[in-house]
């Protein structure tokens, strides 16, 4: 299993919260991390778990973080599957 680690600034952008909030979670021991070349690399799984335990962070994730794009990613018609022939024509053109 690969462990995904992200920087403080990446976490801040993804979750729609300030880097101070991320650093506070690190200082309080609420997320797991390693230090690589003097920079924090936060375990993404622990960050998600931490964010879901805090309503304010969870709400910001949905409204200001990556969660704001979820509705755009949803497949509206779950029975739809692109016709492979159609995809081939697009690739050729």
Instruction: Give the span between the Cα atoms of 11 and 18, in whole angstroms.
Output: 9
| pLDDT at residue 4 in the model | 94
| pLDDT at residue 70 in the model | 73
Instruction: Give the span between the Cα atoms of 46 and 60, in whole angstroms.
Output: 17
Instruction: Give the span between the Cα atoms of 62 and 56, in whole angstroms.
Output: 10
The model's pLDDT over 21-50, given as tens digits with 9 standing for 90+, comes to: 999 999 999 999 999 999 999 999 999 999
Q: What angle do CA 20, 22, 24 make, to 5 degrees?
A: 70
The model's pLDDT over 38-93, given as tens digits with 9 standing for 90+, comes to: 999 999 999 999 998 988 888 888 888 887 877 776 666 666 666 666 666 555 55
Residue ranges per structural domain of the chain: 5-73
| pLDDT at residue 84 in the model | 65
- Lowest mean pLDDT across 5-9, 16-20, 34-38, 82-86: 82-86
């Amino acid at each position: 299993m690969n462990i995904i680690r992200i920087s403080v600034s990446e976490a801040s952008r993804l979750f729609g919260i300030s880097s101070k909030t991320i650093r506070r979670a690190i200082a309080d021991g609420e997320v797991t991390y390693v230090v690589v070349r003097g920079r924090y690399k936060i375990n993404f799984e622990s960050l998600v778990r931490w964010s879901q335990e805090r309503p304010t962070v969870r709400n910001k994730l949905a409204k200001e973080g990556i969660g704001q794009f979820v509705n755009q990613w949803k497949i509206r018609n779950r029975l739809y599957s692109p016709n492979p022939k159609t995809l081939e024509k697009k690739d050729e053109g």
